[in-house]
Amino acid sequence: MRYQLIEPQGNFGSVDGDPPAAYRYTECRLSEVSSELLADIDEDTVDFIPNYKESTTEPTVLPCALPHLLMNGSTGIAVGMTTNIPPHNLNELVEATCLIIDKPSATVEDLEKIIIGPDFPTGGVINGKDGIKQYLRTGRGIIRVRGVAHTEEMKNGKEQIVLTELPYNVNRSSLVKHIAQLCTDKVLDEVSDLRDESDENTRVVIELKRNENPKVVINKLYKHTNFENSFGVILLALDKRRPKQMNIRELLECFVEHRRDVVTRRTRFRLRKAEDRAHILEGFKIALRNLDDFVKIIRAATNRDEARVKLMAKYGLSERQAVAILDLRLYQLTGLERDKIEAEYRELMALVEELRSILSSELKLLTLIKKELRDAAKKHIGPRKTKVSAQEGDLSMEDIVANEGCVVTVSHAGFIKRTPVAQYRLQKRGGKGTKGAELSKAASDDDSDFIEHLFTANTHDHILFFMNNGRVYVEKVYEIEEANRASRGKSIARLLELKDDEKLAAMVCVSNFEEGKFLMMCTANGTIKKTEISKYANYRKGGIIGINIEHGDRLISTKLTNGDNEVVMISQSGMSIRFHESDVRSMGRDTTGVAGMRLDTGDQVKAMEVVDPACTLLVVGIDGIGKRTPFDDPETKEPVYRKQTRGGKGVIAIATEVGVAGALSVQEEDEVMLLTKGGQSIRTKVSDIRCTAGRNTKGVRVMRLKDGEALLGISKVERSDEEEENAAKPQA
């Protein structure tokens, strides 16, 4: 009940679902709203029928001064049909009813602007306006009601979610039980504690573990529990004793029609009464005018009947008038009382006039209905409790997966996994490193597996997987199985449904496929190709062609550029070439590209990087010796790596005998991850590696390698906010 019809006293149950006390313990009385529904019932406004034993009568309908059906709603299951009407806000209903009265041509669309939607006594938020529109127009529609929650920060810095409003008809204690069950089932493993602190107001507290995203938990509650509930509206009611599904306009018209009936009948009743009284008063007036004669006649009469008959005969009075005159008391013959009768008669005639005009004028009748409706509603109207939000749509994976940083690794044998970034410890340069991945024992005999790709990403990002043959598969990061640092992961071939001869060459992580960004692709033979990233937006599960690869060549790197970047290509022999990307025109997706670097025989491109003046180029050899050089000399502002045009041989980037393992464009505060073929990994700060301005130099030891070990590659680690927070606090 949005508007209580009965005032309770005692235990009438609660939203927790506990039952009310037995009727010998509880008390009640009608509420003010009920008086509005029952008002004027004794003025012949409605039909009465005998009760079941014909000892008394009962009304077939109440006069009902308020649009009660829509105010409080109704539910019922009959045979073959059900009704489910939500409660509405009285204020809106009154305005809508008045609109229908004022403008009979008002459409459902006009009413929609006034009636915003259901208004549940329990509050909540209705998600999406389509369902509301539908049921207002057709009488049938489904709306989704959500509870209301907010977050509070606790003293220890953790966050807690507080549920303050639940959807209509949701049992609070079973909701809490359900949440608890979801916590034990690991569906809600972000939750550290759950308490129901409700008194007369709902307050369910869900404490979160450190650094968990409350939004994700709330979305999970919407998805998995009754915290979001659907309400299937069916506006079915009895119209002239026949069930009928109606839209909002028809229902309000029923009400207006009913009121018209009630007010007309009441006016007729009052008119009849007034006329009766007027008739009697007319008799009094005659009697008072001829008082002495009347007294004489009465005194002369032997009994009451004789007096009556004589009076009727002499003055042409009706029997009722004569009886009333005989019933007069003596004091009523005083002068003052005579004036009173005169005044009452005048008043009565005015009333009769008024009542007749109501009956004869439709306009007056409707104005009266409107006035009475507003008067009756005035005491009960209040602000809406339920809010309506326009936002529509089912929850997508993005809503229930936290957008958090993670490290995605792909091994040489093609195992992929993602690991929360916090699991990687920060170590000093020169350490031995923590185990990056447990490698396949079966494969370790001759051709051991090793980590081939590693990068950080957010779980909501897209990853474009570029195969060595130029195919591209796109997948969301959260689709990759989360695993701890030491586990091996899932087969990438299974995740992406790869073809047999395909091997992963490069991955690009983007949050969206917006215009103005380009993918720069580079093959081992020195070919380079540039394509707008938006061309990759319509990806398919089976992959799309990213670049056309010539026979014997393979894709080695793909980078994201903004259209005004410079790129550097570094070959295995330590050569490098730097050119502006405008040298490479943007092409379609299914193209080969142009020559980027001319290589010596046996040499191949090892890496391609985008030049960032704020960054330095880190080149590390297979022996773990590396160097860091600025792209442009900090003093002379001259480029250390000279700008050339594409297609040249390039210049020496590092003097190395064993060959380059990898190259990276890094910032001073960056950290890099170095990986060996044996699966050892080390994470080190870039600032720990000395920066040298010379181009043709050997560099310093970046990682100490065991015998037989070789550095496989390097990768940048992006620090997440979470990690920085942890780093700021002293470790306990």
- Give the C-alpha separation, 65 to 37, whole Å: 5
Using the contact rule CB under 8 A, the part of the chain among 118-126, 279-287, 298-306, 323-331 near other proteins is 118-126
> Side chain identity at 722, as an amino acid letter?
E
Q: Nearer to other proteins by C-beta: 4 or 91? A: 4
Token readout for 71 is: 């105010």
Distances (CA, A) of 150 to 165, 187, 243, 380, 503: 10, 20, 43, 29, 47
Q: Nearer to other proteins by C-beta: 59 or 157? A: 59
Instruction: Quote the least distance from Cβ 462 to other proteins, whole Å.
Output: 45
- Give the C-alpha separation, 556 to 536, whole Å: 18
Using the contact rule CB under 8 A, the part of the chain among 2-10, 307-315, 670-678, 709-717 near other proteins is 2-10
- DSSP letters for 354-384: HHHHHHH-HHHHHHHHHHHHHHHHHTT----
Q: Tell me which residues in 216-275 interact with other proteins (CB under 8 A).
A: 236-239, 241, 243-244, 246, 251, 254-255, 257-258
- Give the C-alpha separation, 150 to 164, whole Å: 8
Tell me: does residue 168 bind other proteins (CB under 8 A): yes
- Give the C-alpha separation, 641 to 579, whole Å: 10
Tell me: does residue 122 bind other proteins (CB under 8 A): yes
Using the contact rule CB under 8 A, the part of the chain among 28-36, 181-189, 323-331, 368-376 near other proteins is 28-36
Distances (CA, A) of 232 to 125, 258, 334: 15, 27, 71
Instruction: Quote the least distance from Cβ 242 to other proteins, whole Å.
Output: 8
Contact track, other proteins, 512-551, x by CB under 8 A: ----------------------------------------
Taking the alpha carbons at both ends of the chain, their separation in whole angstroms is 55
Q: Nearer to other proteins by C-beta: 35 or 107? A: 35
Instruction: Quote the least distance from Cβ 266 to other proteins, whole Å.
Output: 15
Tell me: does residue 13 bind other proteins (CB under 8 A): yes
Is residue 25 part of the annotated active site? The answer reads: yes
Tell me: does residue 387 bind other proteins (CB under 8 A): no
Q: Nearer to other proteins by C-beta: 77 or 442? A: 77
Q: Nearer to other proteins by C-beta: 44 or 612? A: 44
Token readout for 344 is: 């009452």
CB 702 within 8 A of CB 620: yes
> Side chain identity at 730, as an amino acid letter?
P
CB 481 within 8 A of CB 443: no
The count of chain residues that interact with other proteins, using the rule CB under 8 A, is: 69
CB 483 within 8 A of CB 445: no
Token readout for 333 is: 């013959």
Q: Tell me which residues in 32-91 interact with other proteins (CB under 8 A).
A: 32, 34-35, 37-38, 41, 51-53, 55-56, 58-59, 61-64, 67-72, 74, 76-81, 83, 85
Using the contact rule CB under 8 A, the part of the chain among 10-18, 413-421, 499-507, 633-641 near other proteins is 10-18
CB 218 within 8 A of CB 59: no
Instruction: Quote the least distance from Cβ 164 to other proteins, whole Å.
Output: 13
Q: Nearer to other proteins by C-beta: 121 or 639? A: 121
- Give the C-alpha separation, 413 to 3, whole Å: 68
Partnered with residue 193 across adjacent β-strands are: 207
* Secondary structure class of 630 (helix, strand, coil): strand
Rg (CA), the chain: 44
Instruction: Quote the least distance from Cβ 265 to other proteins, whole Å.
Output: 13
Instruction: Quote the least distance from Cβ 69 to other proteins, whole Å.
Output: 3
Name the DSSP class of 122: T
Catalytic residue among 25, 52, 168, 478: 25
CB 185 within 8 A of CB 208: no
Instruction: Quote the least distance from Cβ 386 to other proteins, whole Å.
Output: 12
CB 451 within 8 A of CB 407: no
Instruction: Quote the least distance from Cβ 219 to other proteins, whole Å.
Output: 25
Active site residues: 25
| Binding region for other proteins (CB under 8 A) | 1-2, 4-9, 12-13, 15, 20, 23-24, 26-32, 34-35, 37-38, 41, 51-53, 55-56, 58-59, 61-64, 67-72, 74, 76-81, 83, 85, 120-122, 168, 236-239, 241, 243-244, 246, 251, 254-255, 257-258
